[in-house]
Structure 1
Amino acid sequence: MAIPIPSFTTPKQPGRWYRGGIALAGFLLLAFLSRAATFGHPDLYVDETFYFAAGVEMLHGAIPFVDIWDRKPPGHFLLFAGIAAISDQFVTYQIVAAIFAGATAFVIYRAARHICGAPAAGFGGATYIFSIYAFNGYGGQSAVFYNLFVALAALLLLASLSRMEERGTALRIGIAMLCAGLAVAIKTSAVFEAAFFGLFAAATQIRARMPHSITIRRIMVWALLALLPSAAFAIWYFLHGYWDEYWTAMVLSNLRKPAEEAGAGLRLEVIAGMLAPLLASAIVGCFFLPRAARSLLVGWMLAALVGFFALPSFYLHYALPLIAPLCVLAPAATHLRARGWILLASTAIPPLLFYIYVDNPQTQRVRAGMERLVDGVNRGKVGGGDLLVFDGPPLLYTMTGSPFPTPLAFPNHLYQAEERDVSHIPTLPEVRRLLAARPGVVVDRTFPHTNRQTDRLVRAYITRNCRPMASMKDRWGHTVTVYGLCRGDPTALSSPQPQN
């Protein structure tokens, strides 16, 4: 049984909007300060830099799944295309990601205000900002963006719990369902949170004992709003003749790809240890919630947990969706007063340790290295031919003004055995086609590629035809090398020959 607590919602309190604006500005400032060291880093993570490069390609007419292939939903591609439309400078996506992180922290703060006081709720929002950084959310990972829509859906549902008969409640929940649908359109794994929110809204509506016609109409409209973003994308692909590409990316590729088991157990242990203080505080906080709020927030946390275990590779950033509900629940532990505050304060330990012992993005060093690579690509292209990034930073395409030579421009699709033939394009024949076109520049990394077939082909091509032009060490100590002049050096042909 929940322990009675006072209501913390004061919707008509004078100055509420002013204070809300101050809180939002504070969270945005904190998000920017926490990420300042990473702004301008050109190689934070291969997937987010690839998506920015893909966004630039979309502005030139490329169609996701047709001209650019990966398995994330169209909404994710469209999001980065919108960011690239602001500017083709890659720092743009990092700035937008910081805005999303700060806005999500503010929504978490507003949600936590329903169950605790302002200081504890503010701590929860700040914990979110620093925790996602520690879980590799310091750039533009997909959860940094879609967590905002999931948290908004939770906040709108939380605000509707005791107001089902009020005039604006149906609209409020409808917006919540649309937010949940947008999250799914950005990352498919958000479907678990979205499904829970939909079931919770339907159950709450049924318990309100309103006329059956109103109940059925509301639930149907809410379901349609949740499905709208994904359905709109699916219909577009069907009408334009790209259904096979869409279906393969959204469904078949996920069934074809084997789980990455190597190191998964160790990664899960690391995640569990890093989440332990936040999880402990959230569990304690659950005992101090009103029943309806507890059902919603605990259900959200469990749905996010199902989504986490649905991707059993257990990379750090896969835990990002878990952090949002935990940061809403954890501040409620402060109802234990001093002991609760100590427990809540312990949630800052993992991010603090990460900042002290792990965090060193080496932005300036990597930027200097990327400038060398860009120069190497430009010098290596004088003999003609396209750029092929077999393994390396996909941003090289954008930074050198080079088009994607293949829909499989995300390097992992070319060199990872787990990605072999998961798309509608067979991997080995595609690499053979790329090499038959005689790329003028090839980028490779000293990394043990698991697709031995494509690895042998590309490295044999490099050995026979190319020269090393530039190199750099990436964040993980691997050497990225630009091999150029693969079609020959025209300057050597035009230079005067020595006479006997």
Structure 2
Amino acid sequence: MSGREAALIGSLLLVFALVTRIATFGHPDLHIDETFYFAAGVEMVHGAIPYVDVWDRKPPGHFLLFGALAAISDWYVTYQIAATIFAAATALTIYAMARGLTSRGPALLGAGTYLTAICLFHGQGGQSPVFYNLFIAAAAALSLASIPRFESRAAQRAVALAMLLAGIAITIKTTAVFEAMFLGLFAAGLQVRTAGIGRTTMLRILGWTALGLLPSALFAAWYALNGYWDEYWTAMVLSNLRKPVEDNGGMQRLLILALMLLPLGAAGILALTRISGIYRLFFAGWLLAALIGFFSVPAFYLHYALPLLVPLCALAPASLAWPRTGAVLLGIAAVMPVLFHPFFGFAETREARTAMSRLAAAIERSKGDGPLLIYDGPPLLYTLTGSRFPTPLAFPNHLHQASESDVSHIATLSEVERLLAQRPGAIVDRTTKVTNTATSTLVRAYAKRNCRKVASEPLLEGWDIEVVVYGHCRAAADQ
């Protein structure tokens, strides 16, 4: 692909990405995890250290990414704009890979399908795959580009850069390790096929492995050298072992996901019969690695399928070699997001923004000089009210979900008792049952006994759930 073609296609895809996502710009509660990470990024700008002052299981690269975005601006739309740029860049990379299999028109259709499909799978905001998909896609594209002249210096540089990019992806989402491992094994296989097993081959494979491990190793070394190894190790390893697997509808979600992916998946499988040799092996292996990553966390939420869309959208355009079947499958895959996702839901964004503004104003009026505690509600309210996190467990799920109890280095019930002993000036909760009854009993009893209900707003579209602010808590407690 020439530079001129890349600039033209990249511009078209960026405009299309804006069209598909602009209705969500300014939505303050697209998904609780992505808004939490932006709020955590703001905390990092004020000196918070991930896993020490703000806790979650995502790798440090994910925290660093949102911290960098918050350093640009504490306006939460910043991460939504960045996610749009990442999505467009990923689509351009998909176009480049598909262009090696088919002509410009089908390749552009595959790239455009990625931009609409990620919205259908809850990637219209800043879910982590929207960001790390770019690093995996770029690593895959570099690996593909190295195939024709693998022994050349340019190809060897491409492979080295691919391993580094794959390593960066792992620091954003751990499940990317499966795709990264495949890319490394593929490069190693090409090296053995080209040069045999010898000193040069072994040194190159060791070098590529080191580059893939380097980003994670640097983070681990920083935490160890600064005395935070226990917190880091708990977040990266022990917390995942401690968390129980909950049967909360995962199989039903898996069935829905399978049906939603069926047209694009079928087009991808059809395309595999069109291509041959090393390229068929590459795409089949990459898709298998992405599937292993998908099944490695058996919760099966919609956004867990986002990594699958990269190899499928790069591969599926080749199915048009069978005009009738390929066109039907790829056409359904392209049209389905338009039928089921509200690409122009500006009203929903306005309503959510208005509701969040009312909640923030209520907190500011009623909090007094006490801390804010968001027990169950949008963590972005910390940022919007200028409140610092009162606890490292500021992601509300860690406080109110039984499956998250005591998975960190902090005892959950004791931490809630400590928070309430500080006499919060305002508490945010939702009108719904939660699974951690021990903490909910304490928090809701405190709110009932010491606070007054000052605001209530619906934020989850289609759910009979409201976010409630209980304020004037310190004043009420003193009466």
* Distance in 2 between residues matched to 1:211 and 1:450, nearest whole Å: 55
Aligned AA (1:437): Q
Q: Is the 8 A contact 1:304 1:322 kept in 2?
A: yes
Q: Is the 8 A contact 1:94 1:139 kept in 2?
A: yes
* Distance in 1 between residues matched to 2:173 and 2:392, nearest whole Å: 20
Residue by residue over 1:353-394, the C-alpha shift from the partner in whole angstroms, topping out at 9 and shown as x without a partner, is: 212699787110111101111111111122x21000001110
Q: Secondary structure at the match of 2:455?
A: strand
Residue 389, structure 1, aligned to residue 360, structure 2 = no
Partner of 2:221: 235
**Taking structure 1 as reference, are residues 26 and 186 closer, same or farther at Cα in structure 2, changes over 3 Å only?**
same
Partner of 1:364: 350
Percent identity, aligned pairs only, is: 56
Q: Secondary structure at the match of 1:317?
A: helix
Please report the TM-score for the alignment, with normalisation by the length of structure 1: 0.93
Residue by residue over 1:304-333, the C-alpha shift from the partner in whole angstroms, topping out at 9 and shown as x without a partner, is: 100111111110111111111111110110
- Alignment match of 2:315 (pick from 313, 329, 334): 329
* Distance in 2 between residues matched to 1:432 and 1:441, nearest whole Å: 16
Unaligned runs of 5+ in 1: 1-10, 494-500
Residue 440, structure 1, aligned to residue 425, structure 2 = yes
Aligned AA (1:346): I
Partner of 2:252: 266
Partner of 1:8: none
Residue 312, structure 1, aligned to residue 298, structure 2 = yes
Q: CA deviation at 1:489?
A: 6.4
**Taking structure 1 as reference, are residues 332 and 361 closer, same or farther at Cα in structure 2, changes over 3 Å only?**
farther
- Give the aligned CA root-mean-square deviation in angstroms: 1.6
- Alignment match of 1:191 (pick from 177, 191, 194): 177
Q: Is the 8 A contact 1:379 1:469 kept in 2?
A: no
Residue 55, structure 1, aligned to residue 41, structure 2 = yes
* Distance in 1 between residues matched to 2:335 and 2:162, nearest whole Å: 33
Residue by residue over 1:175-226, the C-alpha shift from the partner in whole angstroms, topping out at 9 and shown as x without a partner, is: 0001100110000010110111111110111100268222122111111110
Please report the TM-score for the alignment, with normalisation by the length of structure 2: 0.97
**Taking structure 1 as reference, are residues 319 and 376 closer, same or farther at Cα in structure 2, changes over 3 Å only?**
same
Partner of 2:161: 175
Q: Is the 8 A contact 1:471 1:479 kept in 2?
A: yes
Residue 483, structure 1, aligned to residue 467, structure 2 = no
Q: How do residues 69-468 of structure 1 correspond to structure 2 at under 5 angstroms?
A: 69-209=55-195, 212-355=198-341, 362-382=348-368, 384-468=369-453
Q: CA deviation at 1:170?
A: 1.1
Structure having the higher Rg:
1
Aligned AA (2:218): A
Show structure 1 runs of 4+ deviating over 6 A. Answer: 357-361
* Distance in 2 between residues matched to 1:31 and 1:434, nearest whole Å: 42
- Alignment match of 1:470 (pick from 455, 462, 468): 455
Q: Is the 8 A contact 2:23 2:343 kept in 1?
A: no
* Distance in 2 between residues matched to 1:301 and 1:269, nearest whole Å: 19
**Taking structure 1 as reference, are residues 125 and 480 closer, same or farther at Cα in structure 2, changes over 3 Å only?**
same
Residue by residue over 1:118-140, the C-alpha shift from the partner in whole angstroms, topping out at 9 and shown as x without a partner, is: 11110000000000100000000
**Taking structure 1 as reference, are residues 186 and 305 closer, same or farther at Cα in structure 2, changes over 3 Å only?**
same
* Distance in 2 between residues matched to 1:444 and 1:192, nearest whole Å: 38
Q: How do residues 7-22 of structure 1 correspond to structure 2 at under 5 angstroms?
A: 16-22=2-8
Aligned AA (2:447): I
* Distance in 1 between residues matched to 2:283 and 2:155, nearest whole Å: 19
Q: Secondary structure at the match of 1:487?
A: helix
Q: CA deviation at 1:436?
A: 0.6
**Taking structure 1 as reference, are residues 357 and 132 closer, same or farther at Cα in structure 2, changes over 3 Å only?**
closer
Q: CA deviation at 1:339?
A: 3.4
Count residues in correspondence. 477
* Distance in 1 between residues matched to 2:91 and 2:145, nearest whole Å: 17
Q: Secondary structure at the match of 2:299?
A: coil
Q: CA deviation at 1:468?
A: 1.0
